[in-house]
Structure 1
């Protein structure tokens, strides 16, 4: 799992004044909106006795722990301890990690890492979001597989005739012509020619009026840390799926999808679009969940690659560079409890870097354990 990136952790319309628990990189966070409507993201763990802040309540711009009522502002600083006498000061250690947040493309993004703002990678651009000719839907599903396996599955064009059959691919013509990969510092994408299946159902009604092409151009791409794009150019219009593969843990992934289409743009077609997205995921899920090894190998040579695997190879090479640079969630980010032994992931926030004297001042406890960081 990669830290020091912006992660889209929740659909924006699912976050309000009521605290919302989300999980990413194996760590629990709490989201809520301030009175001005801005989203706050804090570690979901009260520094006092480890209560879950997501079970608490929001007053003004602060969130209160459900256990002893400690209140934290949007910067993670404790501003009230109800049990304290008025003359007692709040300890400087009384704070929790706060993570920068941005609301964009209908998603809440949290920066999970401690890099200064100028050094943070950019949020990927989704140009269709502001295009009035496109209609948007959203969908989500949890799968029991590593997020990188899920990510690579989407950019793997050669699996479509076999996993998706005539629903998405053409088993009679599974060949993949050579394609050129366009790479950037944080992304790679390619235009790939696929033989299309005969269109069916609602979408096939309009397609019957148009000649069936020998090939359709599908744009596949990945955008670090966990976003993949599938752009299908159908005879009736464009369909784009953006998959956010959120690592709940090493072996469990929450897939949140934003779908854009510029055909059948009335709300009456949304349910059909979601049904098609669900069908694709249900076809992929058992295959991805059965892959071994469960985690992507660190060494590129540990799995066999062919020409059509170019996007996956590009991802693994960039990933290897970032691991070398220390961006991998590793031993420094994992703490182990002592009675009984349990592990938990803790992602440092920018406040730890900005306040060196407080870098290890506030406490984190593993679930069912007693370790601290």
Structure 2
């Protein structure tokens, strides 16, 4: 799992004044809206006795822990301890991690890492979101597999004739012509020619009026850390899927999809579009959940690659570079409690870098007797 990136953690319309728990990179967070409508993202762990803030109550711009009523503002600073006498000061260490948030493309994005603003990688651009000719739908599904396996599955063009059969691929023409990869530090994409099956159902009604091409151009792309784009140019129009593979843990992934189409744009067709997207996910699910090893190997040579795997290889090489830079979620991000001895992931926030004198507020005893941040 990679830290120091913007992660789209929830659909924006699901975040309200009511605290909402979300999970990413193995850590729990709480989201809520302030009185001005902005979104706050805090660690979902009260520093006092570990109560879940997501079970608490929002008052003004603050959230109160349901256990002892400790209140935290949008910056994660404790501003009230009800059990304290009025003359007692609140300890400076009484705070929780607060993560920068941005609301964009109908998603809430949280920056999960401690990099200063000028060093943070960009949020990918989704031009279809503001294009009035496109209509969007939301789809989500949990899969019992590592997020990198689900991520690579979507960017993989050569599996479509076999996993999706005549619903999305053409088993009679599985060949993948050579393609060129366009790559940046944070993304890679390629235009790939696939032999399509004839569309069926509702979409097939309109397709019958148009000549059927021998090949369609599909653009497969990935954006770090966990987003895949699939752009299918159908005879009836364009379908684009932006696939957010949210790592709940090492072996569980929450897939959230923004699906855009510029055909059948009436709300009456939304249900049919969701059904088609869900069908694709359900076809992928058993295959991805059965992959071994469960985690993506670190060494390229541990799995065999062919020419059609170019996008996956590009991702693995870039991933290895970032691991060497210390962006991988590792031992330093895992804390262990004393009683009971349970482990949890804690991603450092920019607050820690800005307040080094408070570092001990986040120090926990490790099993070895040392300390882990």
User: Smaller-chain TM-score range?
Assistant: over 0.9
1:317-332 aligned within 5 A? 317-332=317-332
| Residue of structure 2 in register with 1:76 after alignment | 76
Tell me the number of residue pairs that the alignment of Structure 1 and Structure 2 aligns: 369
CA RMSD of aligned residues (A): 1.2
Shift of 1:360: 2.5
Structure 2 vs 1, CA of residues 299 and 332 (structure 1 numbering), >3 Å: closer, same or farther? same
1:328-367 aligned within 5 A? 328-362=328-362
Secondary structure class of the residue paired with 2:28: strand
| Residue of structure 1 in register with 2:119 after alignment | 119
Distance in 1 between residues matched to 2:166 and 2:336, nearest whole Å: 48
Matched, 1:183 2:183: yes
| Residue of structure 1 in register with 2:283 after alignment | 283
| Residue of structure 2 in register with 1:138 after alignment | 138
Distance in 2 between residues matched to 1:116 and 1:63, nearest whole Å: 25
| Residue of structure 2 in register with 1:60 after alignment | 60
| Residue of structure 1 in register with 2:152 after alignment | 152
1:98-247 aligned within 5 A? 98-247=98-247
Distance in 2 between residues matched to 1:158 and 1:364, nearest whole Å: 46
1:67-117 Cα deviation digits (max 9, x unpaired): 010000000000001111110000001000000000000000000000000
Provide structure 1 residue ranges, at least 5 long, that are not aligned to the other structure: none
Shift of 1:338: 3.6
1:247-268 Cα deviation digits (max 9, x unpaired): 0000000000000000000000
| Residue of structure 2 in register with 1:49 after alignment | 49
Distance in 1 between residues matched to 2:71 and 2:291, nearest whole Å: 45
| Residue of structure 1 in register with 2:298 after alignment | 298
Normalized against structure 1, the TM-score is what? 0.97
Distance in 2 between residues matched to 1:365 and 1:336, nearest whole Å: 6
Normalized against structure 2, the TM-score is what? 0.97
1:195-229 Cα deviation digits (max 9, x unpaired): 00011000000000011100000000000000000
Tell whether the 8 Å contact from 1:25 to 1:249 is kept in structure 2 after alignment.
yes
Tell whether the 8 Å contact from 2:333 to 2:372 is kept in structure 1 after alignment.
no
Shift of 1:361: 1.7
Shift of 1:170: 0.2
Shift of 1:365: 9.1
1:21-36 aligned within 5 A? 21-36=21-36
